[in-house]
């Protein structure tokens, strides 16, 4: 059936010609080993690479042949990927369940360009918010912005959760090298009071600015933390409500709620309903990032995002970095039955990158119905996870190398380190290359025996190999390259969602738990025995908690 909703005219996925061809093709290639694929094509490792927009991707160690790639590209075409990319960039309301455009690409569109939503060019608005952020950031840095007692701001605490936290934390950690070390940056997300208590315990309220980041300004965790922050700030400043204006700014789309909280809307930095929470780290939600690294670095990051946007929009799919990565994920997920993707940055500064990607990928593509509301008949979003290397090697890599599951890996490495220290960097990068080599080629029983291993031990020491990986090699971690990496995964997710014919831009799956928690809160707080209407397990847990808590 043609999908009116997508406007691509694509057939349902199982009916697409390329999908059927891939099913047949899979039977032919499923048992091919990377050892043989490399042996029969000495140039495979040079051919199956893309070097564009400052990103080098080696995808040769995936279980693909040239025919696989042709069919995957054909699948992208039959799935209407090109039309859908164009629809996104044109500002069409492709988030159909929320009737919204999906325009994170507008957040990094250069001045003077035009993207129209509901008859209005949104690019000038984006730049006006950026200019306001820049002015604010400069005032904080120069000391012109003063706290209630006249002291300058030295501590910045971002309060937010999900997309209003994970991007800011990840970017702060990733770009720490570029940050103002005279300032302290902290992030509070969890409604667990420990998060708040630990974040403020050694800070002087007179020097502390809170950024309340919430697209909706109604999120339970964020509003609870924001109220605690206001109480802490007022108590420590002996201040009046007037002090709130000096110590609180808001990032939101909801002006009314911001004003109701008591934050002067002059100190509010806006964004728009066409920016999804998990796609918002380059909007005003990035104010803490800008305060940490300065406006010039922030704009360099936006430029990095934009370069990948342009690449994604214009490069043919066979040479298109995000499209290829998305298609390879589909290949491993839907044909080889891989259920996860490990993201393994060999860069300590990227330690929060996998956590950031978990929301981006899984909140986007964890969907069970197509755009038209039909139950999907194939697996969608894989589970993303990971840790920085080399740490992970001494933890979970055993399972990747010798376990029974197929785990495609994305290795991310930088040719130049930001902290040259003896041989450290060569050792680090040697480990990246060694891991991808070991995963692909393994170690045969013959090789193990040739090392003099006793017969009984041989099976334990064999590495089957044939485990797929991508290697992403970038020159150096900079604000610009971070922007590129994030955009790479944003559009990778978009590609996957398009193939699966799902809406990558809503998140209805988070609602039920939120609503149930709202019902349970008063039941936990009630002093009287109330009749509980849950299942017997939930009722019992509530009663036990109430008995134990005081």
394 flagged as catalytic: yes
Kindly tell me the burial class for residue 446, based on how many C-beta atoms sit within 10 Å of its own C-beta (0-12, 13-18, 19 or more): exposed
- Find the binder of ligand F6P among 161, 250, 328, 432 (CB under 6 A): 161
Q: Does 277 bind ligand F6P (CB under 6 A)?
A: yes
CA separation for the pair 491, 72 (Å, rounded):
16
Complex with ligand F6P: residue 96 or 161, whichever CB lies closer? 161
449 flagged as catalytic: no
The minimum distance between CB 221 and ligand F6P, in angstroms, equals: 8
- Find the binder of ligand F6P among 79, 95, 164, 283 (CB under 6 A): 164
514 flagged as catalytic: yes
Q: Which residue has the tokens 């969602």?
A: 497
Task: Enumerate the β-bridge partners of residue 251.
Answer: 213, 269
Complex with ligand F6P: residue 158 or 390, whichever CB lies closer? 158
Complex with ligand F6P: residue 72 or 284, whichever CB lies closer? 284
Which residue number has the CB closest to ligand F6P?
277
Binding residues for ligand F6P, rule CB under 6 A, total: 14
Q: Which tokens is 188 given?
A: 């509070």
Q: Show the 3-state SS of 212-242.
A: EECCCCCCHHHHHHHHHHHHHHHHHHCCCHH
CB burial of 535-547 (b: ≥16 within 10 Å; e: otherwise) equals eeeeeeebeeebe
The minimum distance between CB 161 and ligand F6P, in angstroms, equals: 5
CA separation for the pair 460, 370 (Å, rounded):
44
Q: Is the link from the previous residue into 315 a cis peptide, with omega within 30 of 0?
A: no
Q: Residue 516 in 3-state DSSP?
A: helix
Active site residue: 99, 394, 460, 549, which one?
394
CA separation for the pair 328, 336 (Å, rounded):
11
Interface region with ligand F6P, contact rule CB under 6 A, candidates 117-125, 156-164, 178-186, 199-207 = 156-164
Q: Does 162 bind ligand F6P (CB under 6 A)?
A: yes
Q: Does 69 bind ligand F6P (CB under 6 A)?
A: no
**HSE-up of 30 (CA within 13 Å, CB side)?**
12
Complex with ligand F6P: residue 233 or 507, whichever CB lies closer? 507
- Find the binder of ligand F6P among 510, 516, 517, 524 (CB under 6 A): 510
From 295, 392, 313, select the one nearest 345 (Cα to Cα). Answer: 392
Complex with ligand F6P: residue 167 or 479, whichever CB lies closer? 167
Q: What are the phi and psi torsion angles at 472 (to 5°)? A: -110, 120
Active site residue: 363, 480, 490, 523, which one?
363
CA separation for the pair 59, 52 (Å, rounded):
14
Complex with ligand F6P: residue 216 or 447, whichever CB lies closer? 216
The minimum distance between CB 215 and ligand F6P, in angstroms, equals: 4
Q: Which long-range contacts (CB under 8 A, 24 or more apart) does 215-218 make?
A: 215/163, 215/164, 215/252, 215/253, 215/254, 215/271, 215/275, 215/277, 215/280, 215/285, 216/252, 216/253, 216/254, 216/257, 217/250, 217/252, 217/253, 217/254, 217/257, 217/258, 217/261, 218/254, 218/257
Q: Does 320 bind ligand F6P (CB under 6 A)?
A: no
Interface region with ligand F6P, contact rule CB under 6 A, candidates 51-59, 109-117, 160-168, 342-350 = 160-168
Complex with ligand F6P: residue 332 or 352, whichever CB lies closer? 352
Beta strands in 10-115 (DSSP E): 49-52, 55-58
The minimum distance between CB 366 and ligand F6P, in angstroms, equals: 12
Q: Does 163 bind ligand F6P (CB under 6 A)?
A: yes
**Region 210-239 residues binding ligand F6P, contact defined as CB under 6 A:** 214-216, 219, 222
Beta strands in 271-400 (DSSP E): 340-345, 383-385
Q: Does 108 bind ligand F6P (CB under 6 A)?
A: no
Interface region with ligand F6P, contact rule CB under 6 A, candidates 5-13, 161-169, 296-304, 386-394 = 161-169
CA separation for the pair 414, 17 (Å, rounded):
39
Q: Does 507 bind ligand F6P (CB under 6 A)?
A: yes
Interface region with ligand F6P, contact rule CB under 6 A, candidates 87-95, 195-203, 208-216, 487-495 = 208-216
**Region 331-390 residues binding ligand F6P, contact defined as CB under 6 A:** 363
Complex with ligand F6P: residue 161 or 342, whichever CB lies closer? 161
Q: Rule CB under 6 A: which residues touch ligand F6P? A: 161-164, 214-216, 219, 222, 277-278, 363, 507, 510
Active site residues: 363, 394, 514
């Amino acid at each position: 059936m043609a999908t009116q909703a997508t406007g691509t005219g694509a057939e349902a996925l199982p009916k697409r010609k390329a999908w059927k061809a891939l099913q047949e093709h899979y039977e032919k290639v499923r048992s091919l080993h990377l050892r043989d694929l490399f042996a029969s094509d000495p140039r495979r490792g040079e051919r199956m690479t893309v070097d564009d927009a400052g990103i080098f991707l080696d995808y040769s160690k995936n279980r693909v042949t040239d025919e696989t790639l042709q069919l995957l590209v054909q699948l992208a075409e039959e799935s209407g990927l090109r039309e859908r990319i164009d629809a996104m960039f044109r500002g069409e309301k492709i988030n159909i369940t929320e009737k919204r455009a999906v325009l994170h690409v507008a957040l990094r569109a250069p001045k003077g360009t035009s993207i129209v939503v509901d008859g209005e060019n949104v690019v000038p608005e984006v730049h006006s918010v950026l200019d306001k952020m820049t002015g604010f950031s400069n005032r904080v840095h120069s000391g012109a912005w003063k706290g209630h007692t006249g002291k300058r701001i030295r501590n910045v605490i971002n309060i937010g959760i999900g997309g209003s936290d994970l991007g800011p934390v990840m970017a702060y950690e990733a770009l720490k090298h570029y940050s103002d070390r005279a300032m302290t940056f902290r992030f509070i997300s969890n409604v667990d009071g420990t998060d708040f208590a630990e974040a403020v315990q050694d800070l002087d309220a007179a020097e502390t600015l809170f950024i309340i980041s919430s697209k909706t300004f109604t999120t339970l965790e964020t509003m609870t933390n924001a109220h605690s922050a206001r109480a802490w700030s007022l108590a420590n400043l002996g201040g009046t409500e007037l002090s709130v204006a000096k110590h609180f700014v808001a990032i939101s789309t909801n002006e009314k709620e911001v004003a109701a909280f008591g934050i002067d809307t002059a100190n509010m930095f806006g964004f728009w309903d066409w920016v999804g929470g998990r796609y918002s780290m380059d909007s005003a939600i990035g104010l803490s990032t800008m305060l940490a690294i300065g406006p010039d670095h922030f704009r360099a990051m936006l430029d990095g995002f934009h370069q990948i946007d342009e690449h994604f929009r214009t490069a043919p799919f066979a040479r298109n970095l995000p499209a290829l990565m998305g298609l390879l994920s589909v290949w491993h997920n839907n044909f080889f039955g891989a259920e996860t993707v490990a993201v393994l940055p060999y860069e300590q500064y990227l330690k929060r990158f996998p956590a950031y990607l978990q929301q981006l990928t899984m909140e986007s593509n964890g969907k069970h119905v197509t755009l038209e509301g039909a139950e999907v008949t194939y697996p969608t979003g894989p589970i993303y996870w990971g840790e920085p290397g080399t740490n992970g090697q001494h933890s979970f890599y055993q399972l990747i190398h010798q376990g029974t599951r197929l785990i495609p890996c994305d290795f991310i490495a930088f040719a130049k380190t930001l902290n040259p220290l003896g041989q450290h960097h060569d050792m680090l990068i040697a480990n990246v290359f060694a891991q991808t080599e070991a995963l692909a080629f393994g170690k045969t029983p013959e090789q193990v025996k040739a090392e003099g291993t006793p017969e009984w031990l041989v099976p334990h020491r064999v590495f089957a190999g044939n485990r797929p990986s991508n290697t992403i090699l970038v020159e150096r971690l900079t604000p610009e390259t971070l922007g590129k990496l994030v955009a790479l995964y944003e559009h990778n997710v978009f590609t996957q969602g398009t193939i699966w014919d799902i809406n990558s831009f809503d998140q209805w799956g988070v609602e039920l738990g939120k609503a149930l928690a709202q019902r349970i809160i008063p039941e936990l707080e009630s002093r009287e025995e109330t009749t509980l209407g849950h299942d017997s397990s939930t009722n019992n847990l509530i009663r036990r908690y109430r008995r134990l808590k005081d």
